[in-house]
Amino acid sequence: MAKSDVKLLGGWPSPFVMRARIALNIKSVPYEFLEEKFGSKSELLLKSNPVYKKIPVLIHDDKPVCESLIIVEYVDDVWSSGPSILPSDPYDRAIARFWATYIDDKFFPSVRGIAAAQGEEAKKAQIEQVNEGIALLEDAFVKTSKGKPFFGGDQVGYLDIAFGCYLGWLRVTEKFNGVKLIDESITPNLAKWAVAFCADGAVKDVMPETDKLSEFAKVVFSKMAGQAPPK
């Protein structure tokens, strides 16, 4: 059993930090959350992650582990007596990793692209691209969940964490743009999954409130050169 000398460097609005927090919660690992201030980097962060210089960083027995999905896998490996996060079957693990990579490399950048789109036509095209991604993820959910509540089966697992951490930012995007991205009439399985995910005991206390996250997003937009904050 791993010792519980665990620290997590992060910030509450970060979906990537949320991944690490959910994994630690699933495994019932006590940890100290060290909040990084937006717009600055602590000496501990720069020392712990000198390559990327970004959050999250898990520090376990004074040894840093960086990158959110690597942290999730590390937590799953080290605290092996708790519920499994990654699927036990090698093929199922490979599929979960594939979709997690798709979410980070393709899906969420398309969501961010909505805010960056110039003009209504460009924004409409970007929203359509996001909707296409959600349709793909609806199909992936049906195939990987095998009729169970989560991508991981009966409980929150690796792919649930990989996708679910973005739900707060999806809601902010919906609020700012007057759209419904996960619509129960179009993607009913994902809509039901999102409710179950946010209500899960490992998730509910680290999922940011939409209004609070919206206010943070306005600050971020106001600091971006040439872009006014959303109303």
Superfamily, domain 6-78? Glutaredoxin (3.40.30.10)
Instruction: Write out the CATH class of domain 90-222.
Output: mainly alpha
pLDDT tens by residue, the chain, 231 residues: 444 599 999 999 999 999 999 999 999 999 999 999 988 999 999 999 999 999 999 999 999 999 999 999 999 999 999 899 999 999 999 999 999 999 999 999 999 999 889 899 999 999 999 999 999 999 999 999 999 999 999 999 999 999 999 999 999 999 999 999 999 999 999 999 999 999 999 999 999 999 999 999 998 877 764 444 444
- Spell out the domain ranges in the chain: 6-78, 90-222
> What pLDDT does residue 220 have?
83
SS (H, E, C) the chain: CCCCCEEEEECCCCHHHHHHHHHHHHCCCCCEEEECCCCCCCHHHHHHCCCCCCCCEEEECCEEEECHHHHHHHHHHHCCCCCCCCCCCHHHHHHHHHHHHHHHHHHHHHHHHHHHCCCHHHHHHHHHHHHHHHHHHHHHHHHHHCCCCECCECCCCHHHHHHHCCHHHHHHHHHHHCCCCCCCCCCHHHHHHHHHHHHCCCCCCCCCCHHHHHHHHHHHHHHCCCCCCCC
Residue owning tokens 């924004």: 123
Distance of CA 179 to the CA centre of its chain: 20
